Structure 1
Amino acid sequence: MITLPILLLTLSVAIVGANSLVLSPIAGSVAGSYADVSASEVMIASAAYGISTAISALFLAPLVDRFGGKFMLLMAMTALAVALGLSALTPSLVLLCLAQGMSGVAAGVALPAAYGLATQLAPKGKESESLGIVLTGWTLSLIVGVSLSAIIADYIHWRGVYAFMSVLAVLVTLSIFVTKTWGTSAVKGKPTSPLTALRVPGIGRGLIVCASYMVAFYGLYTYLGGHIQGALGQSTASTGLTALLYGIGFGGAVFLDRFIDRYGAAQIALYVFVGLFLTYLSLSFVSVSFLGLVLFCLVWGGVNHLGLNLVVGRLVSLDETQRGAILGINSSVTYLCVFIGAMAFKPIFDNAGFAVCALISALCILPAIIDSIVSRRQIMLSLKKHMLS
């Protein structure tokens, strides 16, 4: 099942994910290289990355539909390799922000291209399984990328982190270029845009589910470390343990993706989102226990993997001629929800604590549950009409 193209797509997602995650743990080291710059100011570069990714995904991802997934992934990964190399060389914070902005432009195209290719290259009936493998690139970025970046920053230099990722991006780009087994995925299509994608039937409900799912996750995950260190009095290393367990759970759930293909997304979705709702409730109840949080982060990662597969897979299947545009909107919504989740949950976390944030996250999953119930009923009615006819 793990063919060379699928492996390259997974590595592409891993590099994009690693770049989006590594700046936070090395912000102090980066600040030390610039005059009169604090660690918090360094994170402006992360904001530049997020904004650029959202804008790029919205307006440039539709080019995937016109020029083909492989070509656009090649262009995006080439730009990402250059941007990462420039990030390693920047003499000032302003230039680092510009380099990270460039990497955001690349990421906004790379992710929709990779997700779209994952389903196009999959054997018939194994689209969810193929997409699930590519999604584990986020696990690699979380477990390997972030951990390795901390080691490189400590023992070599923070610039070595970006230089290392740039080299990896070059190797993956060259591998994509020389690999010929991409099927018909590079066939050119018709021009698309965010407007044409928004007219696709079913995309409205799909984006609502995506937004509620993403706000629930990012709103809570943003303040997990602060809760563990502040309320529970644990060390920074202990915070890393929860990220490690989450990543293991997220990656381990790849073996369950086949059940989505076997029984259908509409049949599985209700169970997955109810499971995610119960997971957030459980995180609220165990928030006073560090061991409880660590164990439930493993569960959280596993259920979230299945949820993300369902969210992305649903959007991919709406219209194969507009996958790039649709997934571009998905990425824009995702990065917008990173901002919304962090901002909306901050006063809740400051005044009521992590447990209440977890309860709010559980409530955010209700639209996905309701949508799953409606979808199941529509399928049942359709089957009844077919049997009567």
Structure 2
Amino acid sequence: MPATGPVPQPLAALRIAGVKPLLVACAAFMSAFYGIYGYLGDHLHNGLGEPVSANGIVALVYGIGFGAAALLDGIVDRLGPRRVMPFAFLAVGAVYLGFALAGDSFLAVLGLTFLWGLTNHFGLNVLIMRLAAIDPSRRGTIMGLNSAVTYLAVFAGTTGFGPLYASRGFAFAAFAALVLMLIAVAGGSWRTAPVETKD
């Protein structure tokens, strides 16, 4: 029997309280990530003089950090995603600050990249959890908007950070990513709709 009722309209979900601030947080968070990740390899090769193979090492270290964060997911379960989100985003911002201040050292970059994976895991998880909890009846529509914003952020991050990196260098780009993370903190701190639970 075919389903009846109105077909969900993606843009209508933007009217749900709390969706837009979290999508702004998503846009800032993901733009910062892709803006830095997109040019980190070039910075390693042309800025630090490392071989191209260093890109693979950095990607591996990031993945180890991202995976290791799963061991700490109980923190989110205990405190709730709304409470964890500002701290997770600020931690990611601190990593970008570290890149800006110590990005001229390959060893420092490796250590920061591990922390980047660790903190990004928390940031991404709590963002998805909060979006999914706003309105369970329209979860699919809301998560579809999140995916759309993420793909736009891929373009915005790599395109927007290109001129910054080319003209001002990696440290300046990292400072720009830090500013984006402060915007993400502001969006993530917005209290969402009353139906959001888990806090």
TM-score, with length taken from structure 1? 0.47
1:225 has 2:41 as partner:
yes
Partner of 1:247: 63
Partner of 2:126: 310
Matches within 5 A, 1:184-263: 191-263=7-79
Q: Which amino acid aligns with 1:305?
A: H
Partner of 2:153: 337
Q: Which amino acid aligns with 2:177?
A: S
1:196 Cα shift?
2.7
**Does the aligned pair in 2 maintain the 1:253–1:302 contact within 8 Å?**
yes
Structure with bigger gyration radius: 1
The separation in 2 between residues aligned to 1:213 and 1:189, in whole angstroms, is 35
**Does the aligned pair in 1 maintain the 2:100–2:170 contact within 8 Å?**
yes
The separation in 2 between residues aligned to 1:309 and 1:244, in whole angstroms, is 20
1:353 has 2:179 as partner:
no
1:320 has 2:136 as partner:
yes
Query: What per-residue deviation string (whole Å, max 9, x for no partner) do you get for residues 79-137 of structure 1?
Result: xxxxxxxxxxxxxxxxxxxxxxxxxxxxxxxxxxxxxxxxxxxxxxxxxxxxxxxxxxx
Aligned-pair identity in percent equals 39
Partner of 2:99: 283
Partner of 2:81: 265
Q: Which amino acid aligns with 1:289?
A: S
Query: What per-residue deviation string (whole Å, max 9, x for no partner) do you get for residues 144-167 of structure 1?
Result: xxxxxxxxxxxxxxxxxxxxxxxx
**Does the aligned pair in 1 maintain the 2:99–2:109 contact within 8 Å?**
yes
Partner of 2:197: none
The separation in 1 between residues aligned to 2:165 and 2:158, in whole angstroms, is 10
Unaligned 5+ segments in structure 1 are 1-65, 68-187, 380-389
Partner of 2:109: 293
Return closer, same or farther for 1:295/1:265 CA change in 2, 3 Å cut-off: same
**Does the aligned pair in 2 maintain the 1:190–1:321 contact within 8 Å?**
no
1:266 Cα shift?
1.8
The separation in 2 between residues aligned to 1:249 and 1:346, in whole angstroms, is 26
Query: What per-residue deviation string (whole Å, max 9, x for no partner) do you get for residues 34-91 of structure 1?
Result: xxxxxxxxxxxxxxxxxxxxxxxxxxxxxxxx98xxxxxxxxxxxxxxxxxxxxxxxx
1:193 Cα shift?
2.1
The separation in 2 between residues aligned to 1:190 and 1:299, in whole angstroms, is 45
The separation in 2 between residues aligned to 1:227 and 1:189, in whole angstroms, is 53
1:235 Cα shift?
1.0
**For the aligned residues, what is the CA RMSD?**
2.2
**Does the aligned pair in 2 maintain the 1:222–1:342 contact within 8 Å?**
yes
Dislocated runs of 4+, deviation >6 Å: none
Query: What per-residue deviation string (whole Å, max 9, x for no partner) do you get for residues 342-376 of structure 1?
Result: 11101111111111111100000112222445549
Q: Which amino acid aligns with 2:158?
A: A
TM-score, with length taken from structure 2? 0.90
